[in-house]
């Protein structure tokens, strides 16, 4: 997958945000829907799939390993799976583009099949460490040849039968958990993952929906997820809810831009994903849930967001796992609050698509915000609701969330903020600019 040409974007005030919009399908659920459907026997249908570059990379990889995947004219995707154990060896390297989720989860799938697969990615993905996935999958019997310190390009030589393991996550990571569980699907016996700190549970919910023999229990050591291998997955009809990580940008934008009043429809409200909403409410944000309902086993609601003055907080550490992807835009919210917000406990941000702590510290400082950088987060002294200075050209670092977060910052700045490259936005939110236009017409 080739990288898009750089796309600078000038972010400037456009007045209050008004109206309603839907955000794209949840990226985490979209990845898993394609993968699990590809392992079922029969035809699955997926509605609301996020059609960003990251999810399309997952679809391309599953096609390369034997699944038949097609998009209908009605926007519904059909997937004819190969069955657990039926993956074919891809003829060429699997190009993951910018998608760390695709890479880590697919490494798990390949690990317990008797095939080899080589993973490559763009410059940003090639810098991201894969060692935390390599370690447990190696314990299951897979072999890896990686570049440098466990980075891409990387080759996985899977094994069947693999060895079931009981693995305690050393860091809170839904990707590592999911990689081990996916390897366990084609492994005889019971594969167990213990997570001392709960992470997003989309894999567990969806695997159970596809018919996997999976249990989740609480213990003094944390959540224990046990999966019986050599599973037979049944095809499903999946409706993907709106991505709370995409909704996050509008939650913050409407909160900080005076006069704003918007509705974001069909947002996934899985409790392992709503940390940002909790943090913003602690800061005083006016976010109301409307028409709460369940769609495909996932809680969903429409969110009405109105401008409200924000007050600085110390972000509760227990919220971190449920908002790890939303920290960049939380930093933007903090830039407009009254007082100094302290957001720490997020070491994981150092190894995302970019070093999101350093990238946001650099970008906000360039825009006149007072920022103190810590090894695990930032302390940010806000403007008390006034516009920030802006007037800077900031680097997105090939990171979609940095680009979108700083565009939000520009909506309430005295001078235009120019993002050097907003092209990475397409990896997760292809319609971002259209939605921005609809809210600010």
Residues with active-site annotation: 325
| Distance of alpha carbon 37 from the chain centroid | 20
Using alpha carbons, select from 429, 395, 196 the residue that is nearest to residue 325: 429
Q: Is 325 annotated to bind ligand?
A: yes
Q: How far apart are CA 292 and CA 266, in angstroms?
A: 9
Q: Is 213 annotated to bind ligand?
A: no
Identify the bridge partners of residue 105 per DSSP, sorted by sequence position.
Answer: none
Q: Is 344 annotated to bind ligand?
A: no
Q: Is 352 annotated to bind ligand?
A: yes
Going by C-beta distance under 8 Å and a sequence separation of 6 or more, which residues neighbour residue 435? 21, 23, 250
Sign of CA dihedral 388, 393, 396, 400: positive
Residue 26 has what DSSP assignment? P
The answer to whether 432 and 51 are in contact (CB under 8 A) is no
Q: Is 28 annotated to bind ligand?
A: yes
Scanning 257-354, the segments in alpha helix (DSSP H) are 275-283, 327-335
The tokens for 326 are 């939303």
The answer to whether 77 and 69 are in contact (CB under 8 A) is yes
Strand, helix or coil for residue 428:
coil
Q: Is 177 annotated to bind ligand?
A: no
Strand, helix or coil for residue 46:
strand
The answer to whether 233 and 211 are in contact (CB under 8 A) is yes
Q: Is 71 annotated to bind ligand?
A: no
Going by C-beta distance under 8 Å and a sequence separation of 6 or more, which residues neighbour residue 252? 280, 329, 330, 332, 333, 408
Using alpha carbons, select from 311, 400, 412, 388 the residue that is nearest to residue 101: 400
Q: How far apart are CA 355 and CA 412, in angstroms?
A: 25
Strand, helix or coil for residue 267:
strand
Indicate the helix (H) or strand (E) that contains 225.
Answer: strand 222-228
Q: How far apart are CA 264 and CA 208, in angstroms?
A: 29
Neighbours of 28 (CB within 10 A): 28
Tell me if the bond preceding 76 is cis, omega within 30° of 0: no
Task: List, as residue ranges, the binding site for 3-phosphoshikimate.
Answer: 27-28, 32, 173, 175, 325, 352
Task: List, as residue ranges, the binding site.
Answer: 27-28, 32, 100, 128, 173, 175, 325, 352, 356, 401
Task: List, as residue ranges, the binding site for phosphoenolpyruvate.
Answer: 27, 100, 128, 175, 356, 401
């Amino acid at each position: 997958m080739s990288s898009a040409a750089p796309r600078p974007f000038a972010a400037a005030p456009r007045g209050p945000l008004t109206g309603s919009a839907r955000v794209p399908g949840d990226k985490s659920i979209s990845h898993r829907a394609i993968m699990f459907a590809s392992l079922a026997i029969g035809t699955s249908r997926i509605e609301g799939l996020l059609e960003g570059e990251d999810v399309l990379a997952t679809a391309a990889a599953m096609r390369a390993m034997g699944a038949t995947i097609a998009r209908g004219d009605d926007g519904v995707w059909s997937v004819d799976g190969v069955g657990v154990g039926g993956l074919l060896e891809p003829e060429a390297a699997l190009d993951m583009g910018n998608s760390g989720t695709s890479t880590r989860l697919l490494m798990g799938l390949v690990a317990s099949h008797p095939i080899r697969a080589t993973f490559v990615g763009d410059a940003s993905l090639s810098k991201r460490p894969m060692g935390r996935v390599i370690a447990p999958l190696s314990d299951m019997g897979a072999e890896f040849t990686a570049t440098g310190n466990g980075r891409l390009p990387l080759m996985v030589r899977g094994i069947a039968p693999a060895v079931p393991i009981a693995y305690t996550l050393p860091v809170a990571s839904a990707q590592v958990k999911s990689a081990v569980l996916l390897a366990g699907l084609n492994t005889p016996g019971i594969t167990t993952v213990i997570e001392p700190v709960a992470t997003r549970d989309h894999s567990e919910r969806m695997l159970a929906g596809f018919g996997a023999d999976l249990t989740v229990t609480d213990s003094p050591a944390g959540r224990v997820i046990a999966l019986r291998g050599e599973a037979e997955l049944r095809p499903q009809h999946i409706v993907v809810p709106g991505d709370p990580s995409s909704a996050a940008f509008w939650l913050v934008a409407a909160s900080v831009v005076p006069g704003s009043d918007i509705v974001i429809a069909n947002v996934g409200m899985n409790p392992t994903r709503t940390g940002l909403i909790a943090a913003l409410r602690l800061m005083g944000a006016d976010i109301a849930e409307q028409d709460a309902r369940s769609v495909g086993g996932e809680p969903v609601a429409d969110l009405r967001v109105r401008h409200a003055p924000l007050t600085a907080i110390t972000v509760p550490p227990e919220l971190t796992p449920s908002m790890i992807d939303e920290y960049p835009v939380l930093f933007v919210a903090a830039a407009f609050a009254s007082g100094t917000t302290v957001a720490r406990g997020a070491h994981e941000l150092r190894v995302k698509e970019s070093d999101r702590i350093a990238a946001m510290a650099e970008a906000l400082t360039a825009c006149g915000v007072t920022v103190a950088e810590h090894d695990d987060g930032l302390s940010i002294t806000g403007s008390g609701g006034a516009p920030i200075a802006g007037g800077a050209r900031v680097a997105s670092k090939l990171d979609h969330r940095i680009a979108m977060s700083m565009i939000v910052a520009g909506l309430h700045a005295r001078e235009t903020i120019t993002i050097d490259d907003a092209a990475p936005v397409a990896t997760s939110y292809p319609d971002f600019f259209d939605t921005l236009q609809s809210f600010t017409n």
